[in-house]
Structure 1
Amino acid sequence: MTKQQANWSPYDNNGGTCVAIAGTDYCVVAADTRMSSGYNILTRDYSKINQLADKSVLASSGFQADVRALQKVLAAKHLQYQHQHNKQMSCPAMAQLLSNTLYYKRFFPYYAFNVLGGLDNEGKGCVFTYDAVGSYERVGYSSQGSGSTLITPFLDNQLKSPSPLLLPARDAVTPLSELEAIDLVKTCFASATERDVYTGDKLEILILNASGIRREYMELRKD
């Protein structure tokens, strides 16, 4: 990686913030709809959330051209999987596919910072958080993007996910009810919007549970 590449931030192009929280029988994935370049707002109504499968949703911040390219690759590989196996990928399988796809491009990476949320084979909520080159971990909650430095400490304080080093391993899903998790996400974004110029305009929330997927919106600051 050149010095110029090292000093370049993907948040200078398009920015945005994503949050996901996993519960015992649900998963909440949320992102703002502002797309900006520097201090210029390109659009106030741009969805950063993409449904990859019936039980898998991907939220991505960073350079949105790379995000779209990544989503097209995942969609093509998932279609190929469906033709071969006559079923859709589970969320953990999609998490591994996303990791492999990012790692394959590690020498010229997608400038996309991803959170994958959904339901596993047992119906439990699951959240997978990534870096730009495919390293990932299953967690109870995660935040990515320009507002993540503001939101992550707040989520740590409210949810206190168990350490992955504990033996025996403890379930990482959060103890909140579905409505409590949605309210917490709204509080996170309302706070981050006050302090991050790349986050704002409108909040898009996807809730996955046994009944399917539903979508909610909340207005955020527009300045």
Structure 2
Amino acid sequence: MSAMFSQNPVMNGPNYSFSEAPTTANGNFREHRFNPYSDNGGSTLAIAGHDFVVVAGDTRHTSGYSINTRMSPKVFKIGGTTSSQEDARIVLSVVGFMADGEALKDRLDAVCKMYQYRHGKPITVKACAQRLATILYGKRFFPYYSHAILGGLDEDGTGAVYSYDPVGSYEREQCRAGGAAGSLIMPFLDNQVNFKNQFVPGSGEGHALQERKVVPLSRHEVLNLVKDAFDGAVERHIEVGDGLQMMIITKDGVEEILVPLKKD
């Protein structure tokens, strides 16, 4: 019986020891690695208006150079009381590893539903943003490999957009883009939404130039910007394309629009 637990390789067969790690033919140590993550491509963005929010994402799902599906939504309604989420007022977009994104979406949705049942009122977008940060931070040692953006209307009806890193750090912004083409879309949004590097023509030279006054964009202007942003992204990035899913949050509810993008 003692031979079963013996460390003697003669009596108990070959044993593994970290002091005698397996090596390759040329004498180098063989590396063991477990990587549970994958990047499934796609991009998302959100823009906050005076009394609305637009959250959008493409529908392409990739693994490297392979397209797994052309219809993988990345924008979801959160906290509704029905299976169709028709009464939801908060929208979450996730991009990156879609298995983690789906898990994060389901968990936040469950939290918002429990809040509704316990308190008899919908959760506010500010409270939901804080709760999402807590969920992400609770998984910081094995984080959700996902870039999340939360959108909704705050208590006074103003559009609110919150962006996150994978471990829960977040901030409220006027606009944010993320995902595979985030670095392509964000400079465009900085210029067109945040009015960076926009000056009044003929107002001077060099530092004397007057910056253009920041004015709220209309819903029509924002929708056109979103479409232009993704039209540009699909021309330069193979992991973005197929369809554009847009959700517009207003005091009347959430409207969903789906328009085609390039499929090559």
Confirm or deny a common fold (TM above 0.5).
yes
1:158: Cα distance to partner?
A: 1.1
Contact 2:174 2:194 in 1 (8 A): no
Looking at structure 2, the residues matched to 139 and 45 of structure 1 have their Cα atoms a distance apart, in angstroms, of 28
1:174: Cα distance to partner?
A: 6.7
Determine if the alignment matches structure 1 residue 43 to structure 2 residue 51. no
Determine if the alignment matches structure 1 residue 191 to structure 2 residue 232. yes
With a CA cutoff of 8 Å and minimum separation of 6, indicate the structure with the bigger relative contact order. Answer: 1
Alignment of 1:73-92 (within 5 A): 73-92=107-126
- Structure with bigger strand share is 1
The amino acid across from 2:39 in the alignment is: N
Q: What's the % identity of the aligned pairs?
A: 45
Alignment of 1:136-175 (within 5 A): 136-160=170-194, 175=216
Distance change (3 Å), C-alpha of 1:155 and 1:9? farther
Contact 1:21 1:174 in 2 (8 A): no
Q: Which residue is equivalent to 2:217?
A: 176
What stretches of structure 1 move > 4 A for 4+ residues in a row? none
TM-score, with structure 2 as normaliser: 0.75
* Other structure's SS at 2:227 match: helix
Looking at structure 1, the residues matched to 138 and 72 of structure 2 have their Cα atoms a distance apart, in angstroms, of 28
Greater radius of gyration (CA): 2
Q: Which residue is equivalent to 1:21?
A: 47
Looking at structure 2, the residues matched to 66 and 123 of structure 1 have their Cα atoms a distance apart, in angstroms, of 31
The amino acid across from 1:40 in the alignment is: S
Q: Which residue is equivalent to 1:119?
A: 153
1:9: Cα distance to partner?
A: 11
* Other structure's SS at 1:217 match: strand
- Unaligned segments of structure 2, at least 5 residues: 1-32, 80-87, 197-213
Q: Which residue is equivalent to 2:243?
A: 202
Distance change (3 Å), C-alpha of 1:14 and 1:124? same
Contact 1:159 1:174 in 2 (8 A): no
- Unaligned segments of structure 1, at least 5 residues: 163-172
The amino acid across from 2:234 in the alignment is: T
TM-score, with structure 1 as normaliser: 0.88
1:13: Cα distance to partner?
A: 2.5
Counterpart selection for 2:258 from 199, 217, 223: 217
Contact 1:140 1:161 in 2 (8 A): no
